[in-house]
C-alpha cells in the first residue's frame, strides 16, 4: 500500500495503468531481495547455513515466499485500492 500511495501522491506516472503492475513488481522485488539476503547469510555461515535452510523442510521455500508476496500485493490491489484512493483524496499533498 505504501508503494502504491507513493506512486500516486508523487505523480510518478502519466499513465495510471502502470501503477498496479509496478506496485506488484516492487513487492516482488522486495521479496526477492530478502530471499537473496537469506541465501547470502546461509552461504557465508558455512555448514551452519545448510542446517538453517534445511530446517525449513521445503526446497521451494524461496519460490513460494515470493509467490505469496505477489499474491498478497495482488489481493491488496483488488480489495483496498478504492478505499486507499478515497483516503488519499482527503489528505493534502505534502510530499
Q: Count other C-beta atoms under 10 Å from residue 69's C-beta.
A: 19
Q: Taking every pair of C-alpha atoms in the chain, what is the biggest distance, in angstroms?
A: 54
Task: Kindly state the cell numbers that stand for 33.
Answer: 531481495
Query: Phi and psi dihedrals of 92, rounded to 5?
Result: -70, 145
Q: What is the mean pLDDT of the chain?
A: 88
Q: Quick one: pLDDT at residue 28?
A: 96
What is the average pLDDT across 41-48? Answer: 80
Confidence of residue 55 (pLDDT cuts 50, 70, 90): low
What is the average pLDDT across 83-91? Answer: 92
DSSP per position, 1-69: -HHHHHHHHTT--SSTTHHHHHHHHHHHHHHHHHHHHHHHHHHHTTHHHHHHHHTT--TTHHHHHHHHH
Q: Quick one: pLDDT at residue 70?
A: 97
Amino acid at each position: 500500500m505504501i508503494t502504491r500511495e507513493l506512486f500516486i501522491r508523487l505523480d510518478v506516472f502519466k499513465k495510471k495503468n502502470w501503477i498496479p503492475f509496478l506496485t506488484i513488481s516492487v513487492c516482488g522485488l522486495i521479496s526477492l531481495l530478502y530471499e537473496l539476503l537469506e541465501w547470502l547469510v546461509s552461504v557465508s555461515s558455512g555448514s551452519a547455513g545448510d542446517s538453517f535452510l534445511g530446517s525449513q523442510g521445503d526446497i521451494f521455500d524461496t519460490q513460494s515466499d515470493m509467490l505469496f508476496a505477489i499474491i498478497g500485493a495482488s489481493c491488496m490491489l483488488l480489495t483496498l485500492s478504492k478505499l486507499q484512493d478515497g483516503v488519499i483524496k482527503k489528505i493534502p499533498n505534502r510530499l
